[in-house]
Every structure is written in C-alpha cells, then in structure tokens.
Amino acid sequence: MNLSMGFVRPNRGNSTRPMTKAAVTLSSLAVFAALALVSAGPAAAEERVYQASSVAGEAVEHAKEQIGKPYRWGAEGPGSFDCSGLVQYSYKKAGKRLSRTTYTQFREGRSVSRSNLRPGDLVFFYSGPSHVGMYVGNGRMIHAPSSGKRVQIVEMAGYYNRQFVGARRVA
C-alpha cells in the first residue's frame, strides 16, 4: 500500500523520501497550532494571566476606581484612604480579606521578586515597611501617597525604585 500521497520531504543528503499520511497530518496540526498562538497575540496571554488571578485583577480595578480620592492617615475608604486602607478596601471589594496595616500586610501571602510582579501584587517601601501600593503592570503601581495628595498611579522607578523593600502575592 502506497501512503506517499505525492508529498516529499528532504532527507539527509540530497535524496528525498515520501511523507506518510500520519506525518502530513501531524505537520499540518503543528502549523495550525502555531498559527493560532501567533494570531492570538499578547492580549490572549495577558487575559490568561488575568483569569489565573481574577481576585487580584478585580482588586486592581477597584483600586483604580479610587483614583483622585484624597489621602487621609488611618482612612479605610470609601471617601479617602491611607496606603494600607486602599489596599485592604480594594481586596475586600474583590472578595479577599487582608489585614489593616502595611506592617501586617507585609506578612501576608508569599514573597515575590520584583522581576516576577503581576497586577495585584502588593509592593512595599521604606524600612519597616511603612508604605504599600498595588502593582498594576508595566512598572507602575497605584497607591495613596501622603497627606495633601490623592490616590494615583505612578512609575516604580527612580525614587520608588530606591525605596523598594519587597513584594507579596496575596491572590
């Protein structure tokens, strides 16, 4: 029985030999799978990460809804926030309970290196630590900075890069 179907593939040297139906089918499947992955693009990869941690993604969205609200020491929302109050409030709205202070939040979840940060990870600054924000992706975080300022998204570069002391994944 001849299974060659007229397809040939190069063999070592200059000779060729026919491909079987199974080889053609497997080759076709590999090409279609590769095309599907390429055409899905980076958005599909981001969506998979988001779905893997939907609580963290929801917490980020709840935190973003607070942009522009004033900082007030000890405030837990919804009208104003301090740094740990913003984090606690955002995660609570996403269905996850966190402790109230920066110091205790630094002991929740598991440690994450800066190079492995994902949206929703908590990022900590200053010795103690004494300030917390929430990573939102692309080297940025959302936080309630200090008196006289408002909830905002900032780059984690320069000043914050020098003050960074660690990160925790809580969802």
Over residues 33-48, the pLDDT tens digits come to: 443 433 444 444 444 3
Is residue 10 situated within a structural domain? no
Question: Containing domain of residue 111, as a range?
Answer: 54-169
Same domain, 25 and 95: no
Quote the pTM value: 0.70
Report the DSSP pairing between strands 152-155 and 8-10.
unpaired
What would the DSSP string read from start to end of 24-65? HHHHHHHHHHHHHHHHHHHHHHHHHHHHHTHHHHHHHHHHHT
Instruction: Provide the pLDDT for residue 88.
Output: 99
Is residue 36 situated within a structural domain? yes
Same domain, 163 and 112: yes
State the total domains in the chain: 2
Same domain, 93 and 150: yes
In this structure, of 20-24, 91-95, 122-126, the range with the lowest mean pLDDT score is: 20-24
The answer to whether 62 is a known catalytic residue is no
Same domain, 61 and 82: yes
Q: Where residue 163 sits, what CATH number does that domain have?
A: 3.90.1720.10
Same domain, 83 and 27: no
The answer to whether 83 is a known catalytic residue is yes
Same domain, 32 and 91: no
Same domain, 94 and 122: yes
- Active-site option among 62, 118, 131, 168: 131
* Average pLDDT of span 82-93: 99
Is residue 8 situated within a structural domain? no
Q: What token pair was written down for 33?
A: 């799978």
**DSSP helix/strand/coil, 141:** strand
pLDDT tier for residue 144 given thresholds of 50, 70 and 90? very high
Same domain, 43 and 62: no
CA 51 to the chain's CA centroid: 10
Q: Which of 35, 50, 65 is the last residue of a domain?
A: 50
Percentage of the chain lying above the pLDDT 70 cut: 70
* Average pLDDT of span 109-130: 97
- Active-site option among 143, 144, 169, 171: 143
Alpha-carbon span 143 to 47, nearest angstrom: 24
CA dihedral 91, 93, 99, 100 (to 10 degrees): 110
Alpha-carbon span 32 to 113, nearest angstrom: 36
Instruction: Provide the pLDDT for residue 53.
Output: 74
- Active-site option among 63, 83, 112, 117: 83
